[in-house]
Amino acid sequence: MPELPEVETTVRAINKFEKNVLKEIIVNNKNLRWKVEEKVEEFVKNKFIQNITRRAKYILIFFEDQCLMIHLGMSGKLRIQKIKDNYFKKHDHVELIFENEKIVFNDPRRFGSIHLTRNPHEHRLIKNLGIEPLSKSFNKDYLATLCKSSNLNIKKLIMDQRKIVGVGNIYASESLFLAKIKPDRPSKNVSMTECKNLVTSIRKILKYAIKKGGTTLKDFYSADGSEGYFNLELNVYGKEDKGCKICHQKIIRTVIAKRATYSCNNCQI
Ligand SMILES: [Zn+2]
Of 63, 91, 122, at which residue does a domain stop? 122
Asked, for residue 19, whether it belongs to a domain, the answer is yes
pLDDT digits (tens, 9 = 90+) for 202-225: 999 999 988 887 665 555 665 445
pLDDT higher than 90, residue 1? no
Contacts of 235 (CB under 8 A, 6+ apart): 174, 177, 178, 244, 245
How many angstroms separate the Cα of 203 from the Cα of each of 31, 60, 120, 186?
Answer: 36, 22, 25, 22
Active site residue 259: yes
Share of the chain above pLDDT 90, in %: 84
pLDDT higher than 70, residue 226? no
Of 93, 122, 151, at which residue does a domain stop? 122
SS3 of residue 4 by DSSP: helix
pLDDT higher than 70, residue 20? yes
Active site residue 124: no
Q: Is the domain of 167 the same as that of 250? A: yes
Q: What confidence tier does 3 reach under pLDDT thresholds 50, 70, 90?
A: confident
Q: What CATH code is carried by the domain that includes residue 50?
A: 3.20.190.10
Asked, for residue 70, whether it belongs to a domain, the answer is yes
Distance 240 CA to ligand 1 centre (A): 12
DSSP β-bridge partners for residue 259? 256
pLDDT digits (tens, 9 = 90+) for 152-163: 999 999 999 999
Instruction: For residue 43, give the H/E element and its range.
Output: helix 38-43
Average pLDDT over every residue of 159-188: 96
Give me the number of domains the chain comprises. 2
Active site residue 253: no
Q: Which domain holds residue 47?
A: 4-122
Active site residue 24: no
Distance 133 CA to ligand 1 centre (A): 26
Q: Is the domain of 147 the same as that of 218? A: yes
Of 88, 122, 156, at which residue does a domain stop? 122
Catalytic hit among 47, 55, 57, 77: 57
Mean pLDDT across the chain, nearest whole number?
93
Q: Picking from 114-118, 179-183, 216-220, 232-236, which range would have the lowest pLDDT averaged per residue?
A: 216-220
Q: What is the Cα–Cα distance from 247 to 232, expressed in whole angstroms?
A: 21
Q: Is the domain of 13 the same as that of 64? A: yes
Asked, for residue 131, whether it belongs to a domain, the answer is no
Distance 250 CA to ligand 1 centre (A): 8
**Predicted model pTM:** 0.91
pLDDT for residue 236? 96
Distance 197 CA to ligand 1 centre (A): 17
Distance 235 CA to ligand 1 centre (A): 10
pLDDT for residue 31? 97
Average pLDDT over every residue of 148-155: 97
